Structure formats: structure tokens, C-alpha cells
Amino acid sequence: YESLREEIKDKLKTENFRRREWNMKKKSN
């Protein structure tokens, strides 16, 4: 259960990171 929560946190972090990168790319274009 605990590890599952950590996994979800990791996924969310990755999602946020990707979104941020994508937004930066969008702005620069």
C-alpha cells in the first residue's frame, strides 16, 4: 500500500514535469 502511494507520487511528479516542459516549448515557439 505504501509503495503504491509512492508510485503514484512519482507518476504525478513526472506528469507535472512533462507538462511544464511542454508549456515552455509552447511558449518559446
Give residue-wise pLDDT tens across range 7-21. Answer: 999 999 999 999 999
What is the three-class DSSP state of 1? Answer: coil
Q: Where are the beta strands (DSSP E) in the chain?
A: none
Q: Give the integer Cα–Cα distance in Å for 17 and 9.
A: 12
Domain coordinates in residue numbering, the chain: 1-29
What is the pLDDT, as a whole number, of residue 28? 81
Q: What is the pTM of this model?
A: 0.57
pLDDT at 29 over 80: no
What is the pLDDT, as a whole number, of residue 18? 97
pLDDT at 1 over 80: no
